[in-house]
Amino acid sequence: MEDEPPSRKAEEGSLSKRSQRQQERQGKLPRRRKEVKRSLRRPDCPEHLLGGSVHWLPEHPGSEASASVEDTAESCPKRWDRCRRGHFLHGPYPATHFGPKACVLPNPTSVMHIQDPASQRLTWSKPPLNVLVIRKIRDETLLEPFKELCRFLVEEKHLMVYVEKKVVDDGSLMRDDSFSAFRNQLCTFREGFDDISDCIDLIICLGGDGTLLYASSLFQGSVPPVMAFHLGSLGFLTPFKFESFRTEVDKVFEGNAAIILRSRLKVKVVKGTFQRNEQLLSAQENGILPHNHINNEAGKITLQLQVLNEVVVDRGPSSYLSNVDLYLDGRLITSVQGDGVIVSTPTGSTAYAAAAGASMIHPNVPAIMVTPICPHSLSFRPIVVPAGVELMITLSPDARNTAWVSFDGRKRQEIQHGDSIKITTSCFPVPSICCHDLVYDWFDSLAQCLHWNVRKKQTRLTDASDSSETEN
DSSP 201: S
Q: Which of 209, 408, 419, 441 is catalytic?
A: 209
CB 229 within 8 A of CB 438: no
Structural contact between residues 386 and 379, judged by C-beta atoms closer than 8 angstroms: no
User: 231: which DSSP letter?
Assistant: -
The HSE-up count of residue 147 (CA atoms within 13 Å, CB side) is: 16
Q: How far apart are the first and last CA of the chain?
A: 103
131 phi and psi angles, rounded to 5 deg: -120, 130
Q: How far apart are CA 245 and CA 148, in angstroms?
A: 10
- The values of phi and psi at residue 372, to 5°, are -75, 150
Please, is 83 exposed, middle or buried when counting C-beta atoms within 10 Å of its C-beta (0-12, 13-18, 19+)?
Answer: middle
CA 219, CA 200: separation in Å to the nearest integer?
A: 10
Tell me whether residue 177 is one of the annotated catalytic residues: no
Assess contact for 187 and 150: CB atoms under 8 A. Answer: no
| Residues acting as catalytic residues | 209
